[in-house]
Amino acid sequence: MTKKHTLSLLTLMIALASGAAMPGMAQTSAAYNGRSEPAAVHNSWSLGAAMPTARQWPEVGVIGKNIYVVGGNTNGGVTGANEIYNTKTNTWTTGAPDPTPRCFGVGAVVKGILYVIGGETNSQQTTNIVESYNPVTDTWTTGLAPMPTSRNSIRAAVDNNIIYVIGGCCGGPRDANVESYDPATNTWTEEAPMFVGKSDSAVGLLGGTIISAGGLANSGLTEDNEGYKVKKNSWATLTPSPNEMGGGCTMTFGGQLYSEAYGSEPNLFQAYSLKTNSWTTGLASLPQPVIVSTSAEVGGRLYCFGGLQNGNPVDYVQIYQP
């Protein structure tokens, strides 16, 4: 991890517990040790089979029942590992590794193809490289049009087969940039920027609006919450988060954006409704408090992969049932 990341996260690490479940944790279900999905216990967490490679901030994408977890930062450095989690069987397999090992990038899926965008390489250089993975052939395509702005600590949302990359850093002030990528034409478009430059916000699509809640701004963790209307290419200010927050584990489901707010206290979890422009707090806490994890939604469940705990990458798979 670069010095910039270390300094940005130092204060957050103070808040993290030793890794044990928090006292008073609401409705945490038993560990997910079987070969089938855990029973639906609303507002609860369970643990899936551990990742083969412990890491923080890999790039993630969902294709069918599988979640592809690519790259990330390990104790041994940045990896290109491509590990595939089957949500039906709670098992892992391995795919062809990313030709460009990276962390702090973002993954997005369009028409069954996983696109891995930006991030930071093993030489601790921010990159704008874009590559795609085809799970049918287990092959990567390189040489795609690079992202116009090299950046890491980014998040993304997909609308109408277009990938929108939100915010990021480094090498200067936090980034307010929004750039969209059309895989069909292999072209990038600069979109209207956010009001607040920030990295690692909680990003998700609600209807035709992309939400960017919280994140790390130039002044530190922020409560800023903004919504981007895709058709109008414009941002609007929304009700701020009740807590300063980084993105962490995030999904959209049932008209709400669920997100870990790792900056305020260990494993705090909350949800935002665009319909009511309001937040729900006090949701069940993560079994293991982590930062800089990544996540995906399958079948109305949130799957959170890895992260950083007590300064070390972890192999946790934490599953939330709304």
Please state, in angstroms and rounded to a whole number, the distance separating the CA atoms of residues 139 and 131. Answer: 11
Q: Tokens 């949800």 identify what position?
A: 271
Number of domains, the chain: 1
Q: Are strands 202-206 and 162-168 parallel, antiparallel or unpaired?
A: unpaired
Q: Tokens 């939330």 identify what position?
A: 320
Q: What is the pLDDT of residues 66-122, one digit of tens each?
A: 999 999 999 999 999 999 999 999 999 999 999 999 999 999 999 999 999 999 998
Phi and psi torsions of 12, nearest 5°: -70, -35
Q: In this model, does residue 21 exceed pLDDT 90? A: no
Question: What are the start-end ranges of the H helices in the chain?
Answer: 3-14
**What is the number of helices (H) and of strands (E) in the chain?**
1, 31
User: What is the average pLDDT across 160-168?
Assistant: 98
Average pLDDT value for the chain: 89
* Residue 241, both tokens: 């988060």
Q: Tokens 């069987």 identify what position?
A: 89
With vertex at residue 164, the alpha carbon angle to CA 162 and CA 167, rounded to the nearest 5 degrees, is 170
Instruction: Give me the CATH number covering residue 21.
Output: 2.120.10.80
Please state, in angstroms and rounded to a whole number, the distance separating the CA atoms of residues 184 and 161. Answer: 9
Q: Is the peptide bond prior to 103 cis by the omega test (within 30 degrees of 0)?
A: no
Q: What is the pLDDT of residues 210-229, one digit of tens each?
A: 999 999 999 999 999 999 99
Q: What is the pLDDT of residues 247-286, one digit of tens each?
A: 889 999 999 999 998 776 667 899 999 999 999 999 999 9
Please state, in angstroms and rounded to a whole number, the distance separating the CA atoms of residues 91 and 144. Answer: 31
Q: How confident is the model at residue 17 (pLDDT cuts 50, 70, 90)?
A: very low
Q: What is the pLDDT of residue 123?
A: 75
User: What is the average pLDDT across 31-53?
Assistant: 79
Domain containing 279 equals 3-321
Q: How confident is the model at residue 6 (pLDDT cuts 50, 70, 90)?
A: very low
Q: In this model, does residue 25 exceed pLDDT 50? A: no
